[in-house]
Structure 1
Amino acid sequence: MNVSLRGVGNEGRHHAAEQGSAVAWVESPLQLLCVVEAHHAGLLGRTTRVVPRAGLAALRLTRRELKRLGLPEGLEFDEPAGRVPRPGRVWAVGDAFSGRVQLALVTAPPGRTVLVDDGLATIRLLELFVARRPLLRARGKHGVGRAALGAAAGVRLRTRKPTVFTALPVPDSLAEAVERRGARLVRHDFAWLRSQPADSPPAERTVVLGTSLVRNGLIHRDRYLHWLERIDEPVAYYPHRREDPRDLDRVSRIDGLTVYDAGVPAEMTLRDLRPDQRVLSLPSTAVTSLRVLLSARGVSVETVDVPDDWWTASAGPSLRSHLQLFAHEAPRKVAP
């Protein structure tokens, strides 16, 4: 059943209490935030132990900020670890394409899996889940062993009939197909985060979200930087956590642009923008989640329409189509 959660009622909390304890493995700030939301929504356990992947500065900063806000009752953070914890009766993960996660999945005892958002990869995961194909990333080369593990993980995941907890715009046809395969799709609107106090927004009217598309070799660097230079007003720039420091240095030297390096997800940093402000972004997961958070405040979240000559040869038609999914809900697109 396709469920939409708008806050948490007694039924959800009672359901969680019946489940005992849950274990979550997170490898990105968005995954961490969504695990907190899933626990708050009653989808995990009466208690949830969150294990962050070691060695990731952005995860460390996000964990610190979440603890500062005050975690939901029953949720606690373990120290960062270098290996995936053994899945329990209830297991929450974000990156089901990770080899380490897949190995844990195929060797796990019977139980229930909750999948939380991991950006664009979540949509591809659902497509492969429906098609009964191996769980392999869209980009990269896969050997025989890796393909075999991806196939085994796909079979095991379908057997576990996962719950997918998402704020992403899953197309209706895909959502219906996912549920026909036995999964449960639960949509949310960041109810816990919206209930928390927020810091003051930046002074600039226009906020630009940084992108990983340059570093990933999908769009041309010079075209992106030239677009930033031509925004004819003061800009508050929030870098993507995977932006190349050398690119960010060039961005910081653009006249009228101020870099705000918060180090935590934009969903946390920008959730209290004013109605007179706007957000500009190339296609990204943050576009969707910020619309969820900011629509009631009257803040416009606009997607930049990427011209054909921006894309590199690495950005094939299928990938471009996936990226445009995050632009379809926009009230309007912005010409670069």
Structure 2
Amino acid sequence: MDLAFVESPVQLLNVLEWAHSTQAGTPAGTLSGVPAQPGARATGAAAAAARDLTVVVLSPTDPMSRGQLRRMAELARDEGFTVRWQEARGRKGAPLRTIRELAPLLRRSRRIVIGDPFSRYVQLLLTLVGTKDLTVVDDGTATMEYVSQVARGERLVRWHRRGRRGPRELVLAPVSAVARRRLSPSASREVEVFTSMPVEPPAGITVTANTFAWTRSRFGPPRLTRGADLVGTSLVETGVVDPEQYEEAVAALAAEHGATRYFAHRRESPEKLHRLANRTGLEIVRPDLPLELIARRGPIGRTVLSFPSTVVHTLPLALAGTGITVAVCDISPEWLKDTASPRARGFLAGVTGTARDVHRIAAPV
């Protein structure tokens, strides 16, 4: 049995993509009332494959993430997978109870699939897996940072964090050290990275390309609208970009390109979205699924505008052959907050610079 731990909708989507890529060749069925595309081949729907993978949702507490995860869990169950919803946070004793309940599954599993190697929760679970084979699926652009940090032998720190060690980090340092070893290849453990991101893995890590074949086989092609759509980011919420600068940039892009809708990131605050709607007149859309599925299902604009984020790598793959242009707007240095991580500017430039099949546009002034 393979065991997957997911904490976000995108992670669960990419677990389904990974399962599809590893079990290709089974006739497709239907997905939540959406007919399979002609000639589509399903992997997740295969009974044998479904028996071999159990997905554990380590549920977050914020409502938007929980809502999207429940929708993604429905899709995974429709594909025949066992999905276990674990209330892992927000209740007294939840972490210890979760670990105790999951320990038997961990012992029986052959391979562990995770979406966020930086997650303290996942790192704690990894201390229990021993030498089992490991697959890391995309949780966005953080995959690029994970691979580079493993290659350099560094401790795992999210790119937008400043890296200072507080009391909590010091207490968890032994757990992180064990997890880092589990996340590195060895003679007794295979490590695979399933990704749509451009990465240069160290020796011993196998990289499998995520082409969004499952998404393309199930949804679309989408109906195109005449205008442009703009994709939001959580760069303000993560403390990287100044809120006022971000709002000005969104307003300028919408006016210049005739955007009519703004697809909000699930972490964007309601207050910020309210200000954007009032300032720009954009229709704010709160997707109930990851944007790759929303865009593939349509309707979607002929041009999709984005700031540096995961979607500038994933949308060209999910929308291949549709004629949709994905355009990425650079982050101007003056937009960054003084408290942003020193690595932020270089990392965001790298996200943009390595994106394939996208149109680059200058930051508005």
1:232-280 CA distance string (max 9 Å, x none): 2242100011111110111122344111112321111112557971111
1:285-332 CA distance string (max 9 Å, x none): 111100111242121111112212111112344222112222122332
> Hey, what's the Cα distance between the residues in 2 that align with 1:236 and 1:202?
13
> Hey, what's the Cα distance between the residues in 2 that align with 1:28 and 1:114?
16
Q: Which residue of 1 aligns with 2:131?
A: 110
Given residue 333 of structure 1, which amino acid in structure 2 is its aligned partner? I
> Hey, what's the Cα distance between the residues in 1 that align with 2:315 and 2:171?
39
Alignment of 1:1-336 (within 5 A): 21-42=1-22, 47-54=52-59, 55-66=61-72, 73-82=79-88, 83=98, 85-86=102-103, 87=106, 88-138=109-159, 139=161, 140-142=163-165, 143-158=169-184, 159=186, 160-170=189-199, 174-175=200-201, 178=202, 180=203, 182-198=204-220, 203=225, 205-230=227-252, 231-232=254-255, 233-272=258-297, 277-328=302-353, 329=355, 330-336=358-364
Compute the displacement of 1:58 (Å): 3.7
CA gap 1:266/1:240 in 2 versus in 1, 3 angstroms: same
- 8 Å Cα contact 2:245-2:335 kept in structure 1: yes
- 8 Å Cα contact 1:24-1:92 kept in structure 2: yes
> Hey, what's the Cα distance between the residues in 2 that align with 1:203 and 1:297?
12
CA gap 1:303/1:317 in 2 versus in 1, 3 angstroms: farther
Q: TM-score, normalised on structure 2?
A: 0.77
Given residue 49 of structure 1, which amino acid in structure 2 is its aligned partner? T
Compute the displacement of 1:229 (Å): 2.3
CA gap 1:115/1:67 in 2 versus in 1, 3 angstroms: closer
Larger mean CA deviation between 80-89 and 310-319 belongs to: 80-89
> Hey, what's the Cα distance between the residues in 2 that align with 1:51 and 1:141?
31
> Hey, what's the Cα distance between the residues in 2 that align with 1:145 and 1:195?
46
- 8 Å Cα contact 1:279-1:300 kept in structure 2: yes
- 8 Å Cα contact 1:120-1:322 kept in structure 2: no
Compute the displacement of 1:47 (Å): 2.0
- 8 Å Cα contact 1:29-1:58 kept in structure 2: no
> Hey, what's the Cα distance between the residues in 2 that align with 1:65 and 1:29?
8
1:46-82 CA distance string (max 9 Å, x none): 5211111223534443344446657575522112331
CA gap 1:60/1:220 in 2 versus in 1, 3 angstroms: closer
Q: TM-score, normalised on structure 1?
A: 0.83
Given residue 141 of structure 1, which amino acid in structure 2 is its aligned partner? R
> Hey, what's the Cα distance between the residues in 2 that align with 1:115 and 1:277?
32
SS of aligned partner of 1:195:
helix
Which consecutive unaligned segments of at least 5 residues does structure 2 have? 24-43, 89-97
Q: Which residue of 2 aligns with 1:5?
A: none
CA gap 1:239/1:274 in 2 versus in 1, 3 angstroms: closer
CA gap 1:95/1:234 in 2 versus in 1, 3 angstroms: closer
Identity of aligned residues (%): 31
> Hey, what's the Cα distance between the residues in 2 that align with 1:57 and 1:253?
23
> Hey, what's the Cα distance between the residues in 1 that align with 2:137 and 2:315?
17
Q: Which residue of 1 aligns with 2:41?
A: none
CA gap 1:237/1:112 in 2 versus in 1, 3 angstroms: same
> Hey, what's the Cα distance between the residues in 2 that align with 1:318 and 1:60?
30
CA gap 1:332/1:167 in 2 versus in 1, 3 angstroms: same
- 8 Å Cα contact 1:133-1:151 kept in structure 2: no
- 8 Å Cα contact 1:134-1:153 kept in structure 2: no
